[in-house]
Structure 1
Amino acid sequence: MTPKTGRVTALRADAARNRARVLQVAREQLAAGDDSLQLNAIARLAGVGVGTVYRHFPNRHALLEALSVERFQQLVSEAQAAAADENALTGLHRLLRFALGRALDDAGFAAVLESASDAEARTSVMKAELERAVTDLLDRARHAGVVRHDIEADDVRRLLCGIVHAVHTGDGNPKYAELYLNVLLEGLRPPR
Structure 2
Amino acid sequence: MRNRARILRIARGQLAAGDRSLQLNAIARLAGVGVGTVYRHFPNRHALVEALSEERFRELIGEAQAAVAAEDPFAGLRRLLRFALDLMLDAPDFADVLESAGGVGSQASKMMAELDEAVTGLLDRARLTGAVRDCVDAEDVRRLLCGVQHAVRSGDGARRDLYLGVLLEGLRPPR
What is the TM-score normalised by the length of structure 1?
0.88
Is residue 61 from structure 1 mapped to residue 46 from structure 2 by the alignment?
A: yes
How does 1:72-87 map onto structure 2 within 5 Å? 72-87=57-72
Amino acid at match of 2:108: T
Trace 1:34-53 onto structure 2 (pairs within 5 A). 34-53=19-38
CA contact (8 A) 1:138 1:147 kept: yes
Equivalent in the alignment of 2:112:
127
Q: Hey, what's the Cα distance between the residues in 1 that align with 2:66 and 2:107?
A: 21
For each residue in 1:132-158, what CA deviation from the matched residue of structure 2 results, as whole angstroms up to 9, or x when unmatched?
100000001001001111111100000
- Stretches of structure 2 that go unaligned for 5 or more consecutive residues are none
Which of 166, 176, 179 is the equivalent residue of 2:159? 176
| Contact persistence 1:62–1:120 (CA under 8 A) | no
**Residue pair 1:82, 1:88 contacting (<8 A) in 2 also:** yes
1:140 alignment counterpart: 125
Count residues with an aligned counterpart: 175
Q: Does 1:31 align with 2:16?
A: yes
Amino acid at match of 1:177: R
Secondary structure in structure 2 of the residue aligned to 1:137: helix
SS in 2 for 1:164: helix
Provide the rounded CA distance (Å) in 2 between the counterparts of 1:57 and 1:176: 37
User: Take 2:167 and 2:94, find their aligned partners in 1: how far apart are those partners?
Assistant: 21
Secondary structure in 2 aligned to 1:37? Answer: coil
Distance 1:120 1:49 in 2: 26
Q: Which amino acid aligns with 1:67?
A: L
| d(CA) in 2 for partners of 1:107, 1:119 | 23
CA distance in structure 2 between the partners assigned to 1:92 and 1:44 by the alignment: 43
Opposite residue 162 of structure 1, the aligned amino acid is G
2-side partners of 1:36 and 1:92: how far apart?
Answer: 33
Q: CA deviation at 1:29?
A: 0.5
1:4 corresponds to: none
Deviation at 1:121, TM superposition (A): 2.0
Aligned 1:87-106 pairs, distance under 5 A: 87-106=72-91
**8 Å contact kept, 1:43–1:53:** yes
TM-score, normalised on structure 2? 0.96
- Name the aligned partner's letter for residue 89 of structure 2: L
Alignment check: 8 A CA contact 2:81 2:145 kept: yes
- In structure 1, distance between residues paired with 2:87 and 2:59: 10
For residues 1-16 of structure 1, the aligned pairs below 5 Å read 16=1
Residues 50, 119 of structure 1: alpha-carbon distance in 2 compared, 3 angstrom cutoff: farther
Distance 1:138 1:184 in 2: 14
Alpha carbon RMSD of aligned pairs, Å?
A: 1.2
